[in-house]
Amino acid sequence: MLSEVDVIVAGGGPGGLAAAEAAARGGATVAIFEKNSEIGSPTRTSGGSFIRDMEELGIPAHLYHAVKICRFVSPNRTARFEYDEPIACGMDVRRTYQFLAQRAILAGAHVFPATSVLDLSMDSGRTTGAKIKNFRGKEMDVRSRIVIDATGYRAGLLRQAGVMNGHQRFGVGAEYDLYAPNYNEEEVVLIVGSVVAPSGYAWALPYGNHRVRLGVGVIHADTSANPEDYLNRLVENAERFGMDLRGAQPVEYHTGLIPSDGLCDRFVGNGIMGVGDSAGQPSALLGEGIRWAIWAGKMAGEVAAEAIQAGDCSADFLARYEKRWKAKHGPNLRVASEINRRIARWSDERWDRGTETLSRLTPYQFGQALKTELLGGWAFQALWSNPGLLKTGAREILRRVGL
């Protein structure tokens, strides 16, 4: 076990692994401490993502499955989009995370599974390392110049450092990972409505080899509903939603939480940075966070390496990462958060009207919206050609987020 490194990464998820790789490639010595005994397990996410991001992030094609059709289903309406060139995909989450771990190791990072970060070490308001506990139960102090909090929605280290107060609003999900031999593997289905998922949505996402993740997610505290109560009902009513689950059986059962407050105001401090869920970086629109976490990890790791090289790990220096992230992704994530807060309150009738409006978008426009690329030229073209979108509150949303 290393007793001193340049960078401690707390959490071996996608953000932490990407940060470790980038920092190590920049010349820093890096230790990743992952509390679970296996990288990528247990699975806490459906693994939905987008092909262009996977390509740009260097994720091999055999680790994700492209889908050509997306159906958006409300209580009495359906919007269907078909793609000659697929844009969306379902990831093999466990194998993707382990691929990211291998890449971090090749860059020079050290990975320690079954090892928990218990507390930060602090000196005069500056992070100086962390107390860890390994799989034998031994506790020890590891010194570092920077700690990266990639622990997930609890954001315990950022909170301990006084950088943020914690998240208050969460997407709560439950899903089956099914072997489903008769499901259409080219199609992802998104379902909304109070009977299926109050203040949330349900999904069916194939990720290859007849494996399909079927789940329900709701927003706490917008509703007190338990997604587990709706999951079996979704299975029982699959035929009603055009999903063929004949012969399907669950192979795994997953639950998870994802912050839905939106991007944190601050996610760096003296000697500490946050990435992924801990920093509120997922898109609140779909509760989708893996690719966002990898992008954030790369950016944070690069700044961490710059800070080590410069001998300056202060909050002022590390704020380069915060500024770069907000400049690149902040506007879209703010819009996504505002949209999510509004649609979480929609009635079934309102969802039907919204689905009718969505059906007027082109497949490309709908795909860009799902990706949370909400402020590109396509969006203004969509508003111009579909004035009804303004009636759904698009103008007010843009005003509220300062755009």
DSSP sequence for 109-177:
-EEESS-EEEEEEEETTEEEEEEEE-TTS-EEEEE-SEEEE---TT-HHHHHTTS------EEEEEEEE
Whether the per-residue pLDDT at 169 is higher than 50: the answer is yes
Statement: residue 382 has pLDDT above 90:
no
Looking at the DSSP assignment, which residues form a beta bridge with residue 7? 30, 146
Q: Name every residue whose Cβ is closer than 8 Å to that of residue 380 and which is 6 or more positions away in sequence.
A: none
Task: Supply the pLDDT for residue 400.
Answer: 45
pLDDT digits (tens, 9 = 90+) for 201-236: 999 999 999 999 999 999 998 999 999 999 999 999
Does this model's pTM top 0.85? yes
Model pLDDT for residues 321-361, shown as the tens digit of each residue: 999 999 999 999 999 999 999 999 999 999 999 999 999 99
Written as six digits, the tokens of 211 are 């494996």
Q: Determine the Cα–Cα distance for residues 114 and 39; give it in Å rounded to an integer.
A: 9
pLDDT tens for residues 298-326? 999 999 999 999 999 999 999 999 999 99
* For the chain, domain boundaries: 7-43+94-167+264-330, 67-91+169-259, 336-400
Per-residue pLDDT reduced to its tens digit, 88-146: 999 999 999 999 999 999 999 999 999 999 999 999 999 999 999 998 999 999 999 99
Q: Is pLDDT at 394 greater than 90 in this prediction?
A: no
Do the domains spanning 7-43+94-167+264-330 and 67-91+169-259 agree at the CATH topology level?
Answer: no
Has domain 67-91+169-259 been given CATH number 3.30.9.10?
Answer: yes
For 148, phi and psi rounded to 5 degrees?
-110, 115
Query: What mean pLDDT, rounded, does the chain reach?
Result: 94
Average pLDDT on 53-69 reads 98
How does residue 373 score in pLDDT terms, banded at 50, 70 and 90? very high
Integer Cα distance of 201 and 400 in angstroms: 24
The CATH number that domain 7-43+94-167+264-330 falls under is: 3.50.50.60
